[in-house]
Structure 1
Amino acid sequence: MRRAFAALLVIAGLHTGMAGADDRLSGSLTSVGSDTASALVTRWADTFHARHPKARFQIQTPGSASAPNALIEGAADLGSMSRPMSTAEETRFHARYGYAPTRLVVAHDAIAVFVHPDNPLQRITLAELDAIYSDTRRCGAPRAIRRWRDLEPDADATLGAAEPLATGRNNSSGTWEMFRESALCGGDFRAEVIAWPGNGAVVATVATNREAIGYAGLGYVNGLVKPLAIGPADAGVVPDPASVTQGRYPLSRVLYIYVNRPPGRALAELPQAFLAYVLSDEGQALVRQEGFLPLEPDERVAQRALLE
């Protein structure tokens, strides 16, 4: 499974000799947005380009917060996001163009919370996460959690006395925003939380530090860290395919691509064809290969209808 942060990736001039290539589609598409979705968007672009060699892509992934600005300024054709646009972002778009952006759901995902494999912890509640990551404790925890032994009585003497090293994403990320709203009940992160611009760095931090706890997109979790179930002792839910697609896992979410399409008008041929590919059988098969979860058949029908 490929996982890499791509600040700027240009896909052009590859696979031009492949059998079955179709050069009727041409032009350039720029995608700006989510780091979480970066590898998936890159995979879609790469395979689409293999079939349409004259289609070129520029992919920039500084975070979900960059997508609305890029669409508003006309600097992107596609805005990938791991959260929905905020009311303020949609208002700014509407003020510029007089209509709302078109939003497509393209995959299922979740925010996984994980610890080092040596940590005996198996599950955690949202209130306990809030007590680790914030000082505001809006989710109802009676006190802050500053030692592992306050959370996990079976922690060994060394780990139990240690303070959880809390790490996660930075505030340009949709993952940060969703975690703040869902796990912190809209509260404020502690100043000591280590914030990274990419999911991979969060996983690497926890994988190399047995005192750490982190959160990142589910597709980035590997065997070097241990995902936690979320919920009380008798009802903790692990982030597996069924719990995520059914929305039972508390930090389930979907991935979006936003486009600027005036009401009553079709998209230009190239973005229309690319998004149709994203929602195709092959495009959704790539979703699973990249560690995310594909849309259900009825969801794909509904999203295709938005393109017509």
Structure 2
Amino acid sequence: MPVLQPDSRIYVAGHRGLVGGAILSRLQAAGHTNLITRTSRELDLRDQAAVRDFFAAERPQFVFLAAAKVGGILANSTYPAQFLFDNLMIAANVINAAHEHGVTKLLNLGSSCIYPRLAPQPLKEEYLLTGPLEDTNRAYAVAKIAAIELCDSYRTQYGADFISGMPTNLYGPGDNFDLKGSHVLPALLRKMIDAKEAGAKTVEVWGSGTPLREFLYVDDLADACLFLMERVSEPGPINIGTGEDLTIRDLAHLIADVVGFQGDLAFDASKPDGTPRKLMDVSRLAALGWSAHTGLREGLEKTYAWYLAHREEALTTR
């Protein structure tokens, strides 16, 4: 199995996002010096010709495909065409170019939303394509499922060493704190901070508070990505998570405690809850020798500290 060398040519697609940024930092910390990046302005991954030209010129040996159009329930529900088209094009162009230009290994990153809305819990990899998806993020999920199938098809037809990692809900430094497009944890964190600083007495929380969610600190994901790249070569999705979850209500109270917001939390049950539960079965990855090590409170404290130190950067649209 190919192993990353200090001078390996490594392309991190989406290096300015939450996941890609963490992977890039992890690679740098591990002593990798031949890292290839492009911003979305420098390279539009939806443009097939541009992606092919880039791979022909740079000849990466390893690819971390972390580029994606992402967002929470509001963004997914409002812009399904963009979420489906953009993510389909990004995956198809990068995976195909990796094949055409002889990439040694590619890691495609997806999401736990690929699994059916009412699949048994915890979510096992074999539950993929066994039932209907959650409506609020179906477009994104379909694109991510297509990317998994594409990797597996190139493996079947050409022997390409393309693998797919499926992280649970992520958070951490570099997250998106824009309330119109962010996921639940960074949205709640920002709401609590703003309310505390404004002296507000109440913070509104979307939904009933009853859905269960699992959260993985992004630096743990980056560590898992290097582990997968170096030690795993098999088709199908591989779950990446903590194997533990909590209700949105409990998450909101924990964030309030970390931030020091002492007001009330108002749960708006008229807003969508999304999937009732999304807990990953992480036994396959654990059996291979990897597990997460950052607890939720510790991760929240680190993320809170980062936000306070980088507020302007955090609120600037990438």
Structure with higher strand content? 1
Structure having greater relative contact order (Cα 8 Å, sep ≥ 6): 1
Given the two structures, how large is their TM-score scaled by the length of structure 2? 0.29
Structure with higher helix content? 2
